A and B are shown apart, each in its own frame.
Chain A
Amino acid sequence: MLSFLYARQSGLDDPVRLRRAESTRRVLSLELNHNRDVDRIHGNGINTLDIEVIDGRYMLSGGSDGIIVIYDLENNSKKPQYTCKAICTVGRSSRHVHKFSVETVQWYPHDTGMFVSSSSDKTMKVWDTETLKPAEEFQFDGNVYCHHMSPVARKHSLVAVGTKDPKVQLCDLKSGSRIHILQGHRGEILSVRWSPRYDHILATASTDIRVRIWDVRRASGSLFTLDQHNGDKSKASSEAVNTAHNGRVNGLCFTADGLHLLTTGTDDRMRLWNSGTGENTLVNYGKVVNESCKGLKFTVSRGCSPEFVFVPCGSSVAVYGLHSGELITMLRGHYNNVDCCEFHPDYQELYSGGKDCNILAWVPVLRQPGIEDDETNSKRGGTQAAINPAFEDAWSSDVD
């Protein structure tokens, strides 16, 4: 650390280097920390999480019970340990609450005043954060599995929606209407993702084991379909041509620079693709157990070097090197299957939600000063010194 600081100070390194190195170190030291809890509100499994990028302060969660909760992640306790408070809830008492399981929640990328949720009750609702009332409601014919708004688009405000229907729907928030459908898939749409690089590029994943990349400005079909064999016919049977996985594709995630796309399938594989060419980079992540029959919400790190992938894997979250494919660690802590995880790029923290109704916060380990040094502190006795707050309760009786 000192050498990085020195290099930054003397201009030998770009300041970004220290930042990347420290971010990487922090991701590698993620652990379930007793200093951090998240309020437990949901009475059923948690399907989806989203942290807004404006202040990096508020997190949304959506559960199988149809409830949506907003948490404040900021530490106002003036102490290292704190609980992320649920500041508001769209609970069962609200008449606007989703009737069935909430599958996806997402903040409006440019303003925390609005967020969008979609549910198995065949609706997608656009919420006003202030009033917690829907400003807009879209009705669909089938269960809504997923939706996504472009994180970079300024020219359009389209929400891509994936439902039981093989057609991907594009809803315009400005007009409040469904303006376009993208036809090509033959199965249910389990995941949709806009590129973080180009505001017109969309990726969709379906139970038809294919992943399509679309340019929404073009009326005719998709740009291309991801092919796990990179066009090598000899390796695939005729029906498996242009397939991304050998099972339902239920998860999509672009890397932060938008140059790569990750996909997960029920064939227990995860693949990394060049998002510009559709080429399979053939990074081998090994077996990535994937039992989810719905969409899987996984995420990648940002600002690290190298970058990491966080994938729910049974009751733990697996951390892989994005480009190496190496399994770095399994974050174990949930009592039941994990369905979603979300990375906080400002502080390199990970939040995961699972069927055990818990949201767990995975926090980097701090570099604490040595224990011996603290001992000299406690030996003093008598005066009320600042003791490690973790022991504060035990000591409070001593205070006169």
Chain B
Amino acid sequence: MSYNYVVTAQKPTAVNACVTGHFTSAEDLNLLIAKNTRLEIYVVTAEGLRPVKEVGLYGKIAVMELFRPKVCVRTHPEELSLKQASSVRKYRLGLTRVGDLLLITGAALLTRCALNSQVIDVQFLYGCQAPTVCFIYQDPQGRHVKTYEVSLREKEFNKGPWKQENVEAEASMVIPVPEPFGGAIIIGQESITYHNGDKYLAIAPPTIKQSTIVCHNRVDPNGSRYLLGDMEGRLFMLLLEKEELMDGAVVLKDLHVELLGETSIAECLTYLDNGVVFVGSRLGDSQLVKLNVDSNDQGSYVAVMETFTNLGPIVDMCVVDLERQGQGQLVTCSGAFKEGSLRIIRNGIGIHEHASIDLPGIKGAVKFLGGASSRSTASVLELSRLVKHTAVTTHTHTTEPYCTVVVFTCVCVQITSVSVRLVTQDSKALVSEWKEPQGKNISVASCNSTQVVLAVGRVLYYLQILTGELKQISSTEMEHEVACLDITPLGESAGESSICAVGLWTDISARLLKLPCFSPLHKEMLGGEIIPRSILMTTFEGSHYLLCALGDGALFYFGLDIQTGVLSERKKVTLGTQPTVLRTFRSLSTSNVFACSDRPTVIYSSNHKLVFSNVNLKEVNYMCPLNSEGYPDSLALANNSTLTIGTIDEIQKLHIRTTVAEKEVKGAVYSMVEFNGKLLASINSTVRLYEWTAEKELRTECNHYNNIMALYLKTKGDFILVGDLMRSVLLLAYKPMEGSFEEIARDFNPNWMSAVEILDDDNFLGAENAFNLFVCQKDSAATTDEERQHLQEVGLFHLGEFVNVFSHGSLVLQNLGESSTPTQGSVLFGTVNGMIGLVTSLSESWYSLLLDLQNRLNKVIKSVGKIEHSLYPSAAVRDVNSHSRTLSHTHTHTHTLTLTHSARKGAWTLLVSHCDVEAATDDLLWRRGLSTLLHHSF
């Protein structure tokens, strides 16, 4: 029996729906983004979008609307009176499923009207006495618009105020218009029309004919402006021109459409505030764009402010090891139409090398502000000057500088083993110097722009940097010798730190002291015998941390309270094997920490969890951030011999073109694969093997015909796995002697396949139309011919994602000693929504442990919307046959992952209590009025 574990490497990135409103509190302006099975909640701030919460749902989000149940202010555009609010509870249920309810009832209604038709779009109208729906439907004659009133008492639909037969044949959207206009706008392929029963207004602007409008969003509450997005990624503004009549009534005078500019191909649009629009995309990257009053040189009113990477739809992908470091990288074919791109995804962070110089004997690198931002001098010059400068100083004093920190714009502090010197930058003149009274050597020091703390053996000195002077404020003697210290200012302390973090020899402790008095605030024993080599206070996503790296590459990290200096949540992680140096830098306006060692690592925070990411460099001893005109947002990295300047990248885009050799065939070639030096292709229902002739031409060697449509091919040795359009998978063996194919076994389930992969000689992985993964097994030991011919389905897992491609490989280095995984082999998969996941084999004992854990977690975690986890996979059963199958894979939980690292019995209670808190928050969010419509795969 084979046991497999499915885990998400990259959550879905394609945006299905988005909505803006006051969700987390009445003051917060929130943006809610639906990404297939996940919902992300952001707060809109002046600085941009700040993530608040991300929740997973056991279902796919089909439609999403915001409403406020308690006050009943505004639902889906319908106004509810306070009288009706008394029955909110009952009514809310109907509303939360408003789209669903309407579509189902709508269908039933149409059946009653004896219309053989389908509903295209449906919306509530504004300004009607009774709630009124307006919908576009299609029957054999064409498309029509009708309105129906909802009778709340009888739960019935009654004929509405108006209808319009034979609207444009491609009419696809209804936009309800608020009062004073009322009525609805119908968007078609070529025209935009307005109806309200009395008035009918149509325009056919030539610009919209080029493509199809797919989404819309109202800009103003009074409904005078609407954003429209089309399939080419163009953004339009639809303006409703009003006219005041003699009797004071305001009526619609005209409609205007204006092209604003080009964005990603929008799936949904939402207007945030101040001319900022979120463009949610499924086919390309989502964007935050600003609508400007004036157009730019290209005539566009749209300026992109921020881009949110989307990998979907991942149509194909492969794992390569470009840098030959034993770490796989994934190249995906992402996006569609104009958004098509190749993307490289790797675990860890890549450094783009921009420049490097060989400088043997580099001991350190420092940040040199030096007004580089104001001067045009290339930073590299300054850097070399700095290096020279340091060398000069070193020469003069015959001591090595420990730390040269540049303060102010024209003065720099240089700390050497004998003294602290304040030097003017231009003239290199010494302004002030501080020496230990007995002339002892300084062992370690730390400094920021206003303070210097240094240690001489066990004694700590605190200096303040004043204009033209270094002033000793206080000193204290510690119990043991000081190994490392840090005074990075945190919080809003304006460049001054009130805390000093110190790591000591001998008792191996990390301590926090108050400045300037050096009174102890907290003492943390690190244990072991390896001394702390680097200590650092930093802030990630608003939380303060203390990081302390040891001489053996281990790193402790704690939560830090900057008021009291108390440490909490102690955690340990191994980064490398050599002494580690911690340095901070900023990238994309978030702070990160670079851990320099034999395995350089970038530490950053994601969703308030620290993430440790390997960097594609061999060894880094020192690092310092660099930001100048020549090298914006760069890092200077030094090892024993070289200084490198580079930038940290995220996911890169590449554009590559290739050419293909050709051979004409009758029929469509769905798949091609190299097979024993020959070419294996699937052409319609045939699997065909081509061999190369001496003339380098392709000649058919053999065929296999027994398929409906052979869409996918995978090979291993002489075995071929064929994924059929609708007949699941088939295993073929190639007989080289006879030059023919033999059918070995077939899965007789009617699965409509979307991807296949060979896990090993006996196990085969498939993904199908109803968003499931399944594993089939060859039963070689079976006694009868018939049993041998059957691939047994041994596992079914509902993923909720449409898998396009499987690929053997892994993104992780396989030699991380400590957390070696109990799994075998790994297959990556990519989906339509940009999700990347991993399927890996487990031993039976691990499988039972994880399954048990999953079951326990499901008892504790209350799902959003109270959708039982068990319902999720069962809802996925193929729609034609109600096959009942057992779920024999573990369902993925991020929580489970946390556990696998520390699979001790003790972790159970801890983990479960942690989940409880999270679940409670989820529940709260739900109660605050999340209306999410769930759609179970059909």
> A78 and B282 in contact (CB under 8 A), knowing A56-B881, A369-B667?
no
- Min distance, Cβ A86 to any Cβ of chain B, angstroms: 16
**CB contact between B699 and one of A1, A54, A380, A386 (< 8 Å): that residue:** A380
Which A residues lie within 8 Å of B726 (CB)? Answer: 19, 22, 346-347
Instruction: Judge whether B743 is part of the interface by a CB distance below 8 angstroms.
Output: yes
> Nearest chain-B residue to A303 (Cβ)?
B880
Which B residues lie within 8 Å of A55 (CB)? Answer: 748
What does the 1/0 interface line of A114-152 toward B look like (CB < 8 Å)? Answer: 000000000000000000000000000000000000000
What does the 1/0 interface line of A152-178 toward B look like (CB < 8 Å)? Answer: 000000000000000000000000000
> A279 and B114 in contact (CB under 8 A), knowing A15-B752, A56-B750, A57-B748?
yes
Interface centre among B140, B742, B752, B833 (most CB of A within 10 A): B752
A370 touching B743, Cβ below 8 Å: no
B711 touching A11, Cβ below 8 Å: no
> A367 and B703 in contact (CB under 8 A), knowing A11-B833, A15-B752, A53-B882?
no
- Min distance, Cβ A295 to any Cβ of chain B, angstroms: 26
A346 touching B702, Cβ below 8 Å: no
Which of A97-105, A214-222, A371-379 faces chain B? A371-379
Which B residues lie within 8 Å of A380 (CB)? Answer: 699-700
Instruction: Judge whether A397 is part of the interface by a CB distance below 8 angstroms.
Output: no
Which of B269-277, B543-551, B593-601, B678-686 faces chain A? B678-686
> A274 and B699 in contact (CB under 8 A), knowing A10-B832, A11-B313, A15-B802?
no
Instruction: Judge whether B112 is part of the interface by a CB distance below 8 angstroms.
Output: yes
Which B residues lie within 8 Å of A79 (CB)? Answer: 706
B14 touching A11, Cβ below 8 Å: yes
> Nearest chain-B residue to A230 (Cβ)?
B114
**CB contact between B667 and one of A347, A367, A383 (< 8 Å): that residue:** A367
B684 touching A276, Cβ below 8 Å: no
> Nearest chain-B residue to A387 (Cβ)?
B703
Which B residues lie within 8 Å of A234 (CB)? Answer: none
Which of B89-97, B617-625, B733-741, B906-914 faces chain A? B733-741
Which B residues lie within 8 Å of A377 (CB)? Answer: 700, 703
Which A residues lie within 8 Å of B882 (CB)? Answer: 53
A10 touching B700, Cβ below 8 Å: no
CB contact list, A287-309 vs B, under 8 A: 302-303
Which B residues lie within 8 Å of A237 (CB)? Answer: none
A389 to B704, CA, bound (A): 10
B725 touching A12, Cβ below 8 Å: no
> A15 and B769 in contact (CB under 8 A), knowing A9-B804, A276-B108, A370-B667?
yes
A376 to B691, CA, bound (A): 13
What does the 1/0 interface line of B757-789 toward A look like (CB < 8 Å)? Answer: 000000000000111000000000000011001
> A78 and B743 in contact (CB under 8 A), knowing A12-B336, A276-B108, A385-B700?
yes
What does the 1/0 interface line of B285-310 toward A look like (CB < 8 Å)? Answer: 00000000000000000000000000
A159 to B704, CA, bound (A): 46
A376 touching B14, Cβ below 8 Å: no
B700 touching A366, Cβ below 8 Å: no
> Nearest chain-A residue to B883 (Cβ)?
A54
Instruction: Judge whether B174 is part of the interface by a CB distance below 8 angstroms.
Output: no
A255 to B668, CA, bound (A): 35
Contact size range, B:
35 or more
Interface centre among B703, B704, B740, B750 (most CB of A within 10 A): B703
> A2 and B668 in contact (CB under 8 A), knowing A76-B789, A80-B705, A346-B750?
yes
What does the 1/0 interface line of B784-825 toward A look like (CB < 8 Å)? Answer: 011001000000000000101000000000000000000000
Which A residues lie within 8 Å of B802 (CB)? Answer: 8, 11, 15
Instruction: Judge whether B116 is part of the interface by a CB distance below 8 angstroms.
Output: yes
- Min distance, Cβ A196 to any Cβ of chain B, angstroms: 11
A220 to B739, CA, bound (A): 72
- Min distance, Cβ A131 to any Cβ of chain B, angstroms: 21
Interface centre among B114, B709, B938 (most CB of A within 10 A): B114
Which B residues lie within 8 Å of A372 (CB)? Answer: 666
A260 to B709, CA, bound (A): 33
> A9 and B702 in contact (CB under 8 A), knowing A22-B725, A76-B786?
no
> A15 and B283 in contact (CB under 8 A), knowing A5-B711, A384-B738, A386-B741?
no
**CB contact between A385 and one of B666, B711, B739, B880 (< 8 Å): that residue:** B739
Instruction: Judge whether B708 is part of the interface by a CB distance below 8 angstroms.
Output: yes
What does the 1/0 interface line of B484-512 toward A look like (CB < 8 Å)? Answer: 00000000000000000000000000000
A11 to B786, CA, bound (A): 38
Instruction: Judge whether A94 is part of the interface by a CB distance below 8 angstroms.
Output: no
Interface size on A, residues (CB 8 A): 57
Instruction: Judge whether B26 is part of the interface by a CB distance below 8 angstroms.
Output: no
- Min distance, Cβ B397 to any Cβ of chain A, angstroms: 66
Instruction: Judge whether A345 is part of the interface by a CB distance below 8 angstroms.
Output: yes
Which A residues lie within 8 Å of B881 (CB)? Answer: 53-54, 56, 345-346
- Min distance, Cβ A279 to any Cβ of chain B, angstroms: 7
CB contact list, B186-204 vs A, under 8 A: none
Which B residues lie within 8 Å of A259 (CB)? Answer: 107-108, 111
What does the 1/0 interface line of B723-755 toward A look like (CB < 8 Å)? Answer: 001110000000000111111000010101010
What does the 1/0 interface line of A198-221 toward B look like (CB < 8 Å)? Answer: 000000000000000000000000
A400 to B376, CA, bound (A): 85
What does the 1/0 interface line of A342-375 toward B look like (CB < 8 Å)? Answer: 0001110000000000000000001111111100
> Nearest chain-A residue to B701 (Cβ)?
A385
Instruction: Judge whether B588 is part of the interface by a CB distance below 8 angstroms.
Output: no
What does the 1/0 interface line of B692-728 toward A look like (CB < 8 Å)? Answer: 0000000111111110110100000000000001110
Which B residues lie within 8 Å of A260 (CB)? Answer: 111
> Nearest chain-A residue to B744 (Cβ)?
A78
A389 to B705, CA, bound (A): 9
- Min distance, Cβ B707 to any Cβ of chain A, angstroms: 8
B700 touching A368, Cβ below 8 Å: no
- Min distance, Cβ B635 to any Cβ of chain A, angstroms: 37
A152 to B105, CA, bound (A): 22
Instruction: Judge whether B665 is part of the interface by a CB distance below 8 angstroms.
Output: yes
> A323 and B769 in contact (CB under 8 A), knowing A385-B739, A386-B703?
no
> A366 and B702 in contact (CB under 8 A), knowing A15-B754, A19-B769?
no
Instruction: Judge whether B229 is part of the interface by a CB distance below 8 angstroms.
Output: no
- Min distance, Cβ B41 to any Cβ of chain A, angstroms: 23
Instruction: Judge whether B312 is part of the interface by a CB distance below 8 angstroms.
Output: yes
Instruction: Judge whether A16 is part of the interface by a CB distance below 8 angstroms.
Output: yes
A345 to B883, CA, bound (A): 13
> Nearest chain-B residue to A364 (Cβ)?
B708
Which B residues lie within 8 Å of A18 (CB)? Answer: 752, 769
> Nearest chain-B residue to A323 (Cβ)?
B116
**CB contact between B315 and one of A10, A281, A302 (< 8 Å): that residue:** A10
B750 touching A366, Cβ below 8 Å: no
A282 to B116, CA, bound (A): 11
B833 touching A274, Cβ below 8 Å: no
CB contact list, A1-51 vs B, under 8 A: 1-2, 5, 8-12, 15-16, 18-19, 22
Instruction: Judge whether B426 is part of the interface by a CB distance below 8 angstroms.
Output: no
Sorted nearest first, the 5 A-B pairs with minimum C-beta distance are: A370-B666, A346-B750, A11-B832, A78-B743, A323-B116
Chain B residues in contact with chain A, CB under 8 A?
Answer: 14, 107-108, 111-112, 114, 116, 140, 282-283, 312-313, 315, 336, 665-668, 670, 683-686, 688, 699-706, 708-709, 711, 725-727, 738-743, 748, 750, 752, 754, 769-771, 785-786, 789, 802, 804, 832-833, 879-883, 938
Pick 16 A–B contacts, CB within 8 A, sort by A: A5-B670, A11-B802, A11-B832, A15-B752, A18-B752, A56-B881, A274-B112, A276-B111, A345-B881, A366-B684, A366-B708, A367-B667, A367-B709, A376-B699, A386-B702, A386-B704
* 5 more A-B residue pairs beyond the given contacts A1-B709, A5-B711, with a C-beta to C-beta distance below 8 A: A78-B706, A276-B111, A366-B685, A371-B666, A385-B739
Chain A residues in contact with chain B, CB under 8 A?
Answer: 1-2, 5, 8-12, 15-16, 18-19, 22, 53-57, 74-76, 78-80, 259-260, 274, 276-277, 279, 281-283, 302-303, 323-324, 345-347, 366-373, 376-377, 380, 383-386, 388-389
